[in-house]
Amino acid sequence: MLGLSDAEREQVLPSGRQRVLHNRIHWAKFYLGKAGFLEAPRRGRFCLSADGSALLRNPPARLDTRFLQGIPAFQEFYRRDDQGGVADAVAGAEPPSATPEEVVEAAYNTVQAALGLELLERVLSNSPAFFEGLIVDLLVAMGYGGSRRSAAEQLGKSGDGGVDGVINEDLLGLDRVYVQAKRYAPGSAVGRPEVQAFTGSLVGLGASKGVFVTTSTFSAPAVEFAARIPQRVILIDGERLARLMIEHGVGVRSSRVLEFKRLDEDFFSEEG
């Protein structure tokens, strides 16, 4: 259908770890989804959305990243990446002043942003029990709760109103952190009432530290409320949750590691 030869189908990336065809299909699928042309009703199954079907009936002369940048939904996706210059670099219109390192860094930031969105989509497609287990894995990976078993025994078993669980802040359990986890769909922000209820539970328990995690966002009043109360309440929204998962290796694995080398000036110095 694409008119590719066998050699073109088997062509691999410079790393030798993935075929070019598979890599491009992956990114095409992801970008079309962000533009609203492709839907994923369940894992491993993709279909055209209503907008995608309309596009197929009247296709553009060239369907590429530049075309997608004219789609509001895709523009919004690019605006979420605050690193600057990423969209141009990926689209093949890198600034003339950009160094090779800057281009690589821009591409890396784009891959990380895309991975974060994929993580949140997968979290929302799984059960609430899976989400609770994910929070346990993340907190343990960050150094809380000792072992996963001891953390899992506490998280999700407190049964105290606005609190979902409690986890040790240190290995000896000298201090404890209370946790609330809300798996909300995008666009459904956690408001001040939910954060206030969580804080009230902390007061009732005589606790001073809490973590409120959501897959969506927090409203401005909720953030303002958490910032001015005496209890230490950390709000982790979906974007930060994804970043923490990537940073601590939860739900992700290394695909490719690049090592950049520079000239060793000391090696070539003949002084002394």
In a domain, 41, yes or no: yes
pTM of the model: 0.67
Domain end position, chosen among 76, 106, 125: 125
In a domain, 178, yes or no: yes
CB atoms within 10 A of CB 115: 18
Report the domain count for the chain. 2
157 and 229, same domain (yes or no): yes
In a domain, 255, yes or no: no
Domain end position, chosen among 69, 91, 125: 125
109 and 19, same domain (yes or no): yes
Domain end position, chosen among 125, 152, 174: 125
| CATH number reported for the structural domain that contains residue 231 in this entry | 3.40.1350.10
Rounded to an integer, what distance in angstroms lies between the CA atom of residue 41 and that of residue 105?
33
Rounded to an integer, what distance in angstroms lies between the CA atom of residue 44 and that of residue 108?
25
**Are the CB atoms for 134 and 181 separated by under 8 Å?**
no
38 and 138, same domain (yes or no): no
132 and 237, same domain (yes or no): yes
134 and 229, same domain (yes or no): yes
In angstroms, the Cα distances linking 72 to 68, 75, 238 are 9, 5, 22
In a domain, 70, yes or no: yes
**Are the CB atoms for 209 and 176 separated by under 8 Å?**
yes
What is the extent of the structural domain holding 117? 11-125
In a domain, 5, yes or no: no
Which pLDDT value is given to residue 216?
A: 93
16 and 72, same domain (yes or no): yes
Rounded to an integer, what distance in angstroms lies between the CA atom of residue 205 and that of residue 207?
5
In a domain, 151, yes or no: yes
Residue that is written with structure tokens 């996963």 in the block: 148
- Tens of each residue's pLDDT in the chain, 272 residues: 567 888 888 887 766 667 888 878 888 888 898 899 998 887 778 899 999 999 999 999 988 888 888 899 888 876 665 444 444 444 444 444 566 666 777 788 888 888 998 999 899 988 888 888 888 888 888 888 766 666 655 555 544 455 677 777 767 667 778 888 888 888 889 999 999 999 988 888 888 888 999 999 999 999 999 999 888 999 999 999 999 999 999 999 988 788 888 778 788 887 75
In a domain, 135, yes or no: yes
| CA 250, chain centre distance (Å) | 11
In a domain, 37, yes or no: yes
Which pLDDT value is given to residue 91?
A: 46
The phi-psi region of residue 97 (left if phi > 0; otherwise alpha if psi is between -120 and 50; otherwise beta) is alpha
Rounded to an integer, what distance in angstroms lies between the CA atom of residue 125 and that of residue 130?
10
Which pLDDT value is given to residue 94?
A: 47
Closest CA to 162 of 121, 191, 133: 191
In angstroms, the Cα distances linking 232 to 45, 141, 211, 246, 253 are 43, 21, 8, 25, 32
DSSP code string of 153-176: HHEEEEEETTEEEEEESSTT-SSE
Which pLDDT value is given to residue 146?
A: 63
115 and 144, same domain (yes or no): no
238 and 136, same domain (yes or no): yes
67 and 56, same domain (yes or no): yes
231 and 168, same domain (yes or no): yes
Using DSSP's 3-state secondary structure scheme, residue 63 falls into: coil
Which pLDDT value is given to residue 119?
A: 93
